[in-house]
Structure formats: C-alpha cells, structure tokens
Amino acid sequence: MHYLNISFTYKNTDISVREKLAFDSDEKKDQILRLLKSSKNIIECMVLSTCNRVEVLAYTNDIKSAMTHIIRCLTVYSGVFEDELFERADIYEDSGAVHHLFAVASSLDSLVVGETQIVGQLKNAFKFAFDNASSGEHISRLVHYACKCAARVRNETQISKNPISVSSVAVAKAKEIFGTLENKTAVVIGAGEMGELAAKYLITSGANVIIINRSSDHVEELVENLGDKASWDSILKLKEYINKYDLIFSSTSAPHAIITGELIEPQEFRRYFFDIAVPRDIDLVNTDKISVYSVDSLEEMVRRNLALREEQAQTAYSIVGQSTNEFLKFLKDNISIPLIKTIRKKAEICAEAELEKALKKGYLKHSDKEEAAKLIHQVFKAFLHSPTINLKSLASKNDAEQIAGGIKFLFDIKEENLENLTKDIDEI
C-alpha cells in the first residue's frame, strides 16, 4: 500500500487554472470524492482545497493506476486537459507524500509562510472526507501526525509569530498604499473565513469596516464580535458601496465574478480592489482610477516575508524531516505490533478453549485448572518467543508488508481483527 499526493499550488499553477480546480462547496467536494473512490485502486482519499492550493491525497494499492485515475477525475471536473494537469502537477509518493503533507500542515508550503489557517483547513478537509466514508484509518493516521508536526513547528519556532495570511498581506498592502488605515472606511464583501480575517486585520489597523453579505445568517454575529468599528449591509447594495468607497476587499464563494465593469461608475477618486477569493470575485481592468490586486499579485510582499522567515523555516524543515521519519517508523512498527498481539490473542483463546474441553470431558480435574492454565500459557509463550522476536524486527526490513501479508494468511488474520491504533486528530 502507498500514500500518493497530487498537488496544484500557486507554485505550479496560475489562478485561472486553480479556480477551475477549486472545490468551493460541499456538493463539489462530495462529487470529486465519489469520482476518486470509483477506482478499485484507491482505498482512501481526501481533497484539500484552499485559495492557493488543491491537494488530492490518496492511500492506494497501485500508485501508477491511482495517479492516472486522479488526473482523469480532475479533468472531468475542471475541463482542463489531462496532459496539462500532468505537466503542472507536483506528484509525491510514499515518504515524499508524507513529507509534503507535513510541510503543508506546518505552513512551510503556503504562499504566506507561517500562516495558521492551513491546519484548520486540513482538519476540516479530513473530517469531510471521513464523514463521507472516503477516508479511514490510514489517512487518519497521516493527518494526525501532520497536525502533531505542525504543533511542534508552532511551539518550537517563531515562524508563526505575528501570524499573517493572504488576508493580512492584502491589508498590509493597503496600509502601504494609504500610509495609514486609521479611521479609514473599508468595504469587505463576504463574511466567510477570508472576509472575517480581512475585517479583523482592518479593524486592528484602525479602519472602520462595512461587511456586505448575501444573508444575515452569520454576518450579524460576526459584526457583533468585531465591535463598534464594524457594520453590515445587503449585497443588493453592492453597486452603491463599490462606487462610494475607495478600499474594497472581496472574498465570496461565488462561482463567477460579482464585480464587473458594468457595476463601475466613473469617480474622481482612485479605488483599490483586493480580490482574495478563488474563483475570482473581480473582473476589472486596471486603469488610472482603478487598481486590482489578486491573490497572485500579492506575491512580492509575500516574498519579503519569506526572506525574513528563512532562518526559522530552516529549523521548521528540520522538524518536518524528523516528524516524517517518526511517522515512517510508526508505519513499520504498526505492521508488527498488531500482528504480535493478534497472534498471541489467538493462541490464548485456543488454549482456553482446549482447557475447557479437557475439563468438560474429565481429562483434567477442576482443582488443577489454575496450574494447567499457567502451564499452557508458558508453553505457547515459549513457542511464540522466536516468532515474536522476528516480528519485532520486521520494521527494519524493506519487504515488511509482503512478510506481514504472508503471516496474516498463515494465521488467518483479518484486517478488522488488528488493533486500531488511530487517534482523533482534534486532540492536537
């Protein structure tokens, strides 16, 4: 069995392709997971979709077949040609897939290194896949260890000190443009995760925020939590607000652009639009009165942040390497330990059954039961001594899985009888 990760990020794919690949609703996530699971070669899978990446993680019995199937599924979903996806994709196998996911969880592969959103996004992606019966114990173990690695990086480095995200980078760019945001009014369209973060960073920078949203369901509570500097209004007044104010952030989950040229009225003042949504919310051309910043156009500022964090990133990568080795050792250990326990348990059950038979048929006195049980236990313990020692050394062997498979067959051990060693990732 193998881990496989196929990754599309800001590094290998521009935003026009990423937005075609974006799984920005539960319905779309469910659709792609069903498609992926239609292959007999994919045992488990999950999809991580954020504004800067789409990752497909699979546990498979055949890497080549699974890889082809995943790319074909993404082609069916996105309309992007199969050859182009293969050309663009970063593909990681086994230990490479483990290392990559740990780096992603630790925000070392993020557009903004050190941002803290990604761990929550990873947990949510796993939970969705698990709840929809696409992920099980194998991906659960991997995600659990990835979250542990991220926690270590967070606690042992300064990489997330003064945490920043794409939203905070956009706000920082706005501060750079205006000099200060103190008492400035900013319009934030969308009350989702990215919009909420943008609003928080704006208020922290001294700005007043008007949140424009389709419904009042979530936004009223959000505004209340944000305090006196926040208010909200209906998306029906979108045209009015984007023509009245000069600082606009948009982060809806709309499948198409909501701010287009038809909504723009000529104004004497210059307007700055920050499109932090994937797919893009804003379809405007830069002019002398309009400036549009997309996720990708914020890379220059991000690079400056990367330079400042380079030293901490090196330390963090060392932790990722250590965590990867620990997980790979756990996988090998996990082959032998459940086998040892299961074989010894089967021996114990067999011994108890035969002892009861002997008592029932009168071959053994009831008064001798305790002593007989001790003797039988010593016998099977002695008999299993060498197999136990050899199984403990299984972790060091390259063909550990094949040997384990033979032992399972020999002792008629089913997967469901092996001890479940997984943990809840929310414990991290």
Catalytic sites, residue numbers: 51
Q: What are the two backbone dihedrals, phi and then psi, of residue 74, each rounded to the nearest 5 degrees?
A: -65, -35
In sequence order, the 6+-apart residues with CB closer than 8 A to the CB of 4 are 57, 58, 59, 60, 63, 66, 67, 70, 91, 92, 93, 97
Quick check: helix, strand or coil at residue 63? Answer: helix
Buried b (16+ CB within 10 A) or exposed e, 76-112: ebbebeeeebeebbbbbbeeebbbbbbbbbbbbbbbb
Candidates 80, 89, 106; CA nearest to 16 is 80
Quick check: helix, strand or coil at residue 94? Answer: coil
- DSSP-assigned states of every residue in 176-233: HHHS--TT-EEEEE--SHHHHHHHHHHHHTT-EEEEEES-STTHHHHHHHH-TTEEEE
Q: How many CB atoms are located within 10 Å of the residue 222 CB?
A: 18
Candidates 23, 11, 76, 96; CA nearest to 54 is 23
> DSSP character for 312?
H
Which two tokens mark 90? 């970063």
Alpha-carbon torsion angle 246, 250, 256, 259, nearest 10 = -10
Candidates 169, 188, 167, 165; CA nearest to 177 is 169
Q: Is the preceding omega at residue 255 within 30 degrees of 0, hence cis?
A: no
Count Cα atoms within 13 angstroms, Cβ side, for 126. 23
Which two tokens mark 31? 């659709």
What's the Rg (C-alpha) of the chain? 28
CA distances from 286 to 175, 270, 273, 282, 300 (A): 19, 11, 10, 11, 18
* 188 vs 191: CA distance, rounded Å: 8
Candidates 213, 258, 263; CA nearest to 235 is 213
Q: What are the two backbone dihedrals, phi and then psi, of residue 290, each rounded to the nearest 5 degrees?
A: -135, 130
